[in-house]
Structure formats: C-alpha cells, structure tokens
Amino acid sequence: MAGPKAKNKKKQQQKHGVDFKKIKRKVGRKLPPPKNATNIQIKSKAIILPEQSVATEKAGSATSKKGLVLDDLLKQTSHYNSKVRRDALTGIKELILKHPGELKAHKFALIEKLSQRIGDEDRLVKETLYELLKLVIFPGCKEDIQGSLILRMMTYIFRAMTHFSVEARLMAFKFLDLVVQNNSSTFLLYAEKILQNYEDISCSDLFNMQDKSKVKNALLGLVRCLSILLCKSLEGGSHDKETVGEVLLHAYWLNSPKNSTDFTLVTRKLKDLVLVLITRLLELLPSLRSMNSMGLQLLDTELYILQSINLALKFFIMKFQKEHKSCHLQSERDDIRSQLDMVIWDQTVSPALMKLLADFPLHSTDQLSAKTSDGKRVHAAIREKQLLSFFPYIPKLLSQHVSDDWKYSLLQAFTQAFMDCNSESKLKFACISILEKMLIHGTETFLDPIDPAILDHQITWIRELPELLVALGDKHPSSSKVVLRLINHLGGSATMHPSFLLEYEGLKSPFQAFFSMSDGEGNICYGPFVRLPRDCQELSLACISQFSCADFPLLKAITKCCLCNDLDPNLLFRIIEVFGRAENIQIADRLGFFVTLLSHLKVIPENEPIEETQLKISSPRTLHKVTKIVCRCLSVMGDIPLLLQLLEEIIVGQLQLKPDIENARALLQVICTLDSEPTRLSVESLAGLSDSLPSYLLDIVHRIPIGANETAESTVLLEKARFYYLKPCYFLFIRSRRLLTLVLNVMRSLVDDSGRICAIAELFLSMHKNADMRQTLSQFQQEIGSILLKIFHLQASQENKMTLVERHKIQRALDQLSNLSS
C-alpha cells in the first residue's frame, strides 16, 4: 500500500509536466537530424571593395624601406616589443636620411616622441636612439635646438637620471652630453640640477662597473659642462639677461627655468661636487699605484676627475676675484656672502686637496713594473699621461705654505721624472716649461737655493740642460729654443744666486758637443747648432756671452762650426762681430779665433764649378767680408801696436805654410791694417814674410794669367783682379825697403826655368802699372839688375838645352825687364 507521501509526490509530477516525451518511431523511416546538429555547409558572397584605402593614403608620402610613413614609425617607438621599437628608430633614421625635409616639418613631434625613449628599459633601444640623435636629428636641425625642444628632452633626461640602475643613469648623462655639445647654453639653464645629479652618480657604486668606458663618458661630459661654465665666467657680464629660448606656455613643464644660472647656487653645488670627486679619486689611488688591470682601465677616469676638479677651482677663484674687484659696486650683503663662500671653500676643499696631493702617485717608488718590453712601453705612456696633467701645477703647489717634507718629496719626484723621461717626449717639454719658474723665479715658489736639499735638485736640473740640447738635435727646434732660453735666463740671473754661478760656469764643457766634437780619428762631428733655426743660434751665442770666461776648448768647438760649409754666411759674420766685442773672451783666444778663420776658411774660386758638397761659405766674397769684419774688430780692440806684436808671429807662421792665395791675402790684409809707415814689423817677421811672399806673388800671376790675345776690356778686368791680391804686398813694400830687398833677392834665387822667368817678368809689369810701386821699384835698380843678369846667364848657359819656345819666352822676359829698368 502506498502511503500518503507517495500519493502527494505523484500529484506534484503531474502538475509540472513530463520531463522527457517518448517518441514513437516507425520502422523504415529516416531519422531526422538532431536539433543541436551543426550545419557544415559553406555559403559565401562576393566582397566588392572600390579601392585599397591604405595604399592610397601612402601614395606620394615619404616611407622607410619597409614602406612605413613617419607617423607609423613614431607610433611603433612605443610598442611593447623592444625589437619593434629598435626597428622603428632605425626606420626613422632611414626615412630622414632619404627625405631630409621630413625632419624640418616634424621636428617637434620627432623630439617629443623620441625623448620618451631616453629612459627605455632596453639598452639597444637607447643606443640606437643615441646614434639617431647624434648622426641625424641634431645635425639636421641644429639651429632649431633651443627653447621648447630642449625642455622636452631635458625633462626625460632628468627622469632617466633618477633610475635605480646605474647603467641607465650613465646613459642619461651620455644623452645630456650630446645635448650640451649641440647647445652649450643648456647647461647654464640647468647647472644646479645637473651638478646635483653628477654628485649623486659620483656617490653611487659607479667605479665598480665592468664597462669603464661609460664612466669615462659621463666624466667627460662633466669636464665639458665645467669648461662651458668657466668660459662663461671669463666672458663676464650678467647672466640674468641670458635666456636660451622662449618660455613655454605649457603648464605641465614644471622644469622650465624661470631665469638663467645663479652662480651663487652653482658655487655651492660645485663645492659639494669637488669634495665628492676628491674622495672618489683617493679611493682610486691604490689601484692606480699598483697599476693592476683595474688601475689601467681607470686611468682616463682619473684624468677626467682631475680636470673636473681643476675647472671647478678655476671657476671659483675667478668668480671670487671678479667679486673682489667689483666690491665697491656690490651691496654689503653680497660682499658678506662672497666672503662666506671663500671661507667655506677654504675650510672644506683645501684640506681635501692637500690630502690628495700628499697621496698622489708621483714618486719613483710608484714606477710601473712590467716584464715585457711592450708592457714597459704601455706603462711609460700611462705614467707620462698622468704626470702631464699634474706637472703644470707644481710651481703653484710649491708656493703654498706646506711642510718641508712634503715639498722635498714633490721635488724628488719631479726630478726623477725629469731625468727618466725621453728627451723627445711631451713630458720632457712640460718639465722644461716649468723649470724656468723654479730656477729663475725661485723666490716666488719658495725654492731658496740656500736650502741644500733644494739646491741639489736645482743643480741636477741645470746639469741636464746641455745634454738635453744635444739629445734633441736639430729635429725639435721649438724644444731646443725653450732649453736655450732657459739657459740664457739662468746665466743672466746667476749673479743674484752665487750658488748657481758655479754650476752655470760648469756648463761650458758639456756645451761643446752642442757645437762640434772630434772623434778619435780626427773627424769633426758637427752638433745641432749648425742646422738649427737662426733664433736658436742667436740664443746660443747669448748663452756663450753669459759665461764669465769662454775657455779655449769651447772656442775651439765654435771655431770648427764656423769652418763648416753648411753654416749660413750671415751667421758666420754675426759670430765674428759678437766675439770681436765679447769681454769674456781673452785677447789671445780672440786673436787665435780670427787667424784660424782667415787661414782655414775654404774658398773655391768663382770661375770654378761648386759641387753639392761645397756649400754656402765657399766663396771669395764671403772670405773678403770676413776679412773686413775681422779688421774692423781689430781696429777697435785697443792698442794697435800691441795687437800687431801679438799677431805678426802667428800670421807669418801661417803664411809660411803656403795657404791658398785667398787665405794668404786675408792674412796679409790684417797685417796691413795693424801696421803703419814706417813698418812696425820685427826683423824676424820681415824675414819670414820674405820667404813666403815670392811664392804668393808668383801664384797670383799663375792664377790670373793675362794673355796677349786678351781684349782691352778683359785685360782691364784681369789687371784689377791682380791688383786686389797684390795690394797688401804693395803696402808692405812701400812701408819697408828691407822687406822688398829680401823679396827681390829671393826672386833672384827662383830664376831657374822659363816658366818662373816669364812669371817674374809679368809680375814686374803689373807692379810697374801702379804709380807708387813704380816709384818704389825705381830705387831698387841694383836688385832688379841682378835678376836680369841671372836670367842672361841662364839663357847663355842653357841655350842648347832649351826649345825654341823657351828661348823665345826668356828673350821676351829679358826685353820686358830691360825696358822697365831703363
């Protein structure tokens, strides 16, 4: 039996209806498809498009290689995929290079959109952007990079400078440097904020990065910014009136500058930055001193830090000096503020600088160690680069009131570097340029020669100078000029420093090699003096005149230079004039110098060809001018009879060596200049002259023959040439009858062949053409008659041995001499 509950349930089911309706199917009939079956039939209709609208829009527009217009490329720079962004930047570069007009037309949109990528997370995107800006955008619109364009970029640059990644911040500084290079006024607008960011990045873990080049680039940008600041300070004028561009109207540009740089705020920021840079440099010194791999990589970084500190200090000092000069134009408040800034800098920066200088790797103990020759060269180059940045400040550093130990240490390091560096290196030249300040102006640098420790260094510097001159040779005239000028100034100031005087006098011996030296085989090796420019040669002569006494070895070296064929004749004349009135050369040495020049100066007759090896001074005119200068110098030297007494024996001795007639004529001219009528020559000198003059006279006839077929004009010219060489003898014969008697007697002994007989006859003919000599010879008929008699006896005794031509010559000579004596 069903209970009441079962009945109620059945009633409820009848009320709600049947859940599933049973379908009665007939056998043989096809089943209908299910209601949820999918219809797999495909039906399509033709799509009719009148034209392609995208292609129409791009027709005639500038596109990249991929067919994208500038607007599409700019949109892709914000794509989530870094490769798409990078390709978009590359496409923009291609498009602008192909269509430069697009840059001018859309520069604002380009700068705005591209600036957004400065803080991109992808490194390659930022590098691609940097190359795009550097090579395409900035060169294409350099004149338009100002005002709003700058503000757009600087906003994103400052935002990137606050990135948590040091590498991203360094890239932002690279973009900043690029902007400053193209618009230097940008730094002046944002100087305070830029310096603050440099301070922040310097305080970070910057120098531990693997890629040191990025650190170097950032510091190079700092050097450039500080250089701009210093140049602006040098220009003077008020910066309040300067603006870089128009003020933007956009309210959201919160970084828009209201006015130009406030130098007061900049000075305070610079102070903080300098302290940070000094601190970081002190941290780097151990690596630099050890010169490990990290130290080598940080070398340029250290140099840029030093340059930045230098520029910052220069700016502050210049600013303070300007404010001090214009203090009467300032208000009392401004003056107090300026004084306060000076006190703050002095109390904070100066101690840090002194600590840096005390630890700076300059000593010889910091020499670089390298086992290979290549390593040594690399280390030497690194050390030179370090010291070149530091050396210019040594005189100023020594002028500071520092401890003696620190000063001695610095001097020792400088001396060691000066002695070790190559003579042709930039470092050597830098040393020379500051030696003058520490030698000549030693009082300004507190280098008192009385201090033995300081004097030792100064003596070392002085002794190195002549050797340096020789090492430089004639290949580096500018460096040689600096060294010679230093030596000259040192000689001029040596009287004020007795300690220097002895050392300067000691330069004479090493100074000889600068002029000439002789090797063991007697060959002369000429020094750099001969081929240096004229100004260097003049300085050399000035240095010689500074010696208290120019000794014989030094004069001998200079004399050899004067005899060099490569020497300019004008310089030779100058040397003779300088030595002629030089009070520091003894009379005997001066006279010996003159006689050596006149007797050894090589001369080639003007009618003979001159080879390439026979250069400038091988000319009779040069020797003639030298003779005139020597005679002029002798005539003003003082006691003429005494000079003749000193010279006659020397000159006669040189004439007896039978020099060339050019040199013999020059020596005879000197005797004629000093002698008078009647002659003051000694009996010994007259006897010596009588031995050498006959051969000299006959050489003149042989050197300048006058043939019977000569024209009247050429005969006159030849007679004048003979007279030029015979003139000194005429003076001597007229002044001394004894000398002429001795010469005629020697000529009588020379009558032994037809050639000499004809020459003697021609000589007497030339002498008779001079009125004074004709009158003088008229008093020597006996001597001339004895010559005729000997010729007659020779003709009679040798007649059978002579040819017809010889007999004719002798007879002609007899006739000529007979006519003269009649």
Q: Which of 169-178, 698-707, 787-796 has the lowest mean pLDDT?
A: 787-796
E strand spans, 65-209: none
The CATH code that applies to domain 61-390 is: 1.25.10
Task: Classify residue 122 by burial, with Cβ atoms within 10 Å: 0-12, 13-18, 19+.
Answer: middle
- Spatial distance between the Cα atoms of 74 and 113, rounded to a whole number of angstroms: 7
pLDDT band for position 5 (50/70/90)? low
Q: Where are the beta strands (DSSP E) in 570-706?
A: none
Helix (H, G, I), strand (E, B) or coil at 491: helix
Average pLDDT, stretch 21-44?
74
pLDDT of residue 672: 92
pLDDT, tens digit (0-9, with 9 covering 90-100), for 278-330: 888 888 777 766 655 555 567 778 888 888 888 888 887 777 777 666 554 45
Confidence of residue 370 (pLDDT cuts 50, 70, 90): very low
Residue whose pair of structure tokens reads 């700076």 in the numeric block? 360
Residue 386 clears pLDDT 90, i.e. is over it: no
* Pair 359, 282: CB distance under 8 Å: yes
Q: 641 near 680, Cβ under 8 Å?
A: yes
Average pLDDT value for the chain: 79
755 touches 742 (CB < 8 A):
no
Cα–Cα distance for residue pair 411/363, rounded to 1 Å: 10
Q: What's the mean pLDDT in 785-802? A: 76
Range in 74-78, 105-109, 271-275, 611-615 with the lowest mean pLDDT: 611-615
Amino acid at 20: F
Model confidence band, residue 259 (pLDDT cutoffs 50, 70, 90): very low
Contact status, residue 73 vs residue 95, Cβ threshold 8 Å: yes
C-alpha 196/C-alpha 266 separation (Å) is: 10
Phi, psi of 207 (to 5 degrees): -85, 5
Give yes or no for a contact between 483 and 468, defined as CB atoms under 8 angstroms apart.
yes
Closest CA to 546 of 522, 515, 511, 516: 511
Higher pLDDT, 230 or 753: 230
Q: What is the mean pLDDT of residues 503-529?
A: 86
Worst-scoring range by mean pLDDT, 248-252, 484-488, 489-493, 516-520?
Answer: 248-252
pLDDT at 285: 76
Mean pLDDT of 632-638: 89
- Cα-based distances in Å from 268 to 199, 274, 306, 324, 498: 12, 10, 19, 18, 49
Above 70 in pLDDT, residue 513? yes
Give the ranges where 298-393 is alpha helix by DSSP (H): 299-325, 332-359, 373-390
Q: Residue 52, Cβ neighbours under 10 Å: how many?
A: 9
Q: Which of 178-187, 243-252, 275-284, 326-335 has the least mean pLDDT?
A: 243-252
Give the three-state DSSP class for 63: strand
Higher pLDDT, 264 or 424: 424
**Residue 604: predicted pLDDT:** 78
206-215, 359-368, 535-544, 625-634, range with the lowest pLDDT:
359-368
Q: Any residues with CB less than 8 A from the CB of 351 and at least 6 apart, and which?
A: none
Cα–Cα distances in angstroms (integers) from residue 216 to residues 211, 291, 656, in the given order: 9, 18, 78
Structure tokens, 58: 């791009």
pLDDT at 25 over 70: no
679-689 average pLDDT score: 92
The reported pLDDT for the residue numbered 60 is 59
Q: In whole angstroms, what is the distance from residue 346 CA to residue 117 CA? A: 43
Q: Are 149 and 117 in contact (CB under 8 A)?
A: no
pLDDT at 248 over 50: no
> Rounded distance, CA 82 to CA 177, Å?
25
DSSP state of 367: P
Binned at pLDDT 50, 70 and 90, residue 236 comes out as: low
Under a CB-based contact definition with an 8 Å cutoff, are residues 276 and 199 in contact?
Answer: yes
Is residue 185 within 8 Å of residue 258, measured between CB atoms? no
Q: For residue range 321-361, what is the model confidence (pLDDT) as tens digits? A: 776 665 544 555 555 555 555 556 666 777 777 677 666 65
At residue 260 the predicted structure's pLDDT band, cuts being 50, 70 and 90, is very low
CA distance 264 to 240: 12
pLDDT of residue 373: 53
Question: Looking at residues 19-38, what average pLDDT do you find?
Answer: 72
pLDDT at 283: 81
Structure tokens at 89: 């930047």
pLDDT for 766 beyond 90: no
575-608 residue pLDDT tens: 999 998 888 898 899 999 999 999 999 887 665 5
Amino acid (one-letter) located at 650: I
pLDDT at 612 over 60: no
Q: Which of 239, 374, 185, 214 is nearest to 298 (CA)?
A: 214
C-alpha separations of 528 from 153, 463, 532 in Å: 59, 18, 6
3-state SS of the chain: helix, strand, coil percent to 5?
70, 0, 30
Q: Is the pLDDT of residue 177 over 70?
A: yes
* CB distance 526 to 578 below 8 Å: no
Distance CA 366, CA 429 (A): 22
Q: Which residue in 338, 347, 432 sits closest to 394, CA to CA?
A: 432
The C-alpha angle with vertex 617 and arms to 613 and 621, in degrees rounded to 5, equals 135
d(CA 623, CA 574): 14
pLDDT at 753: 75
Cα-based torsion angle of the residue sequence 442, 446, 450, 453 in order, rounded to the nearest 10 degrees: -100
pLDDT higher than 60, residue 744: yes
- Residue corresponding to tokens 């962004």: 85
Q: Find the mean pLDDT for residues 207-214.
A: 67
Nearest to 718 by CA among 766, 662, 781: 766
pLDDT score of 296: 56
Using alpha carbons only, give the angle 458, 463, 466 rounded to the nearest 5 degrees.
135
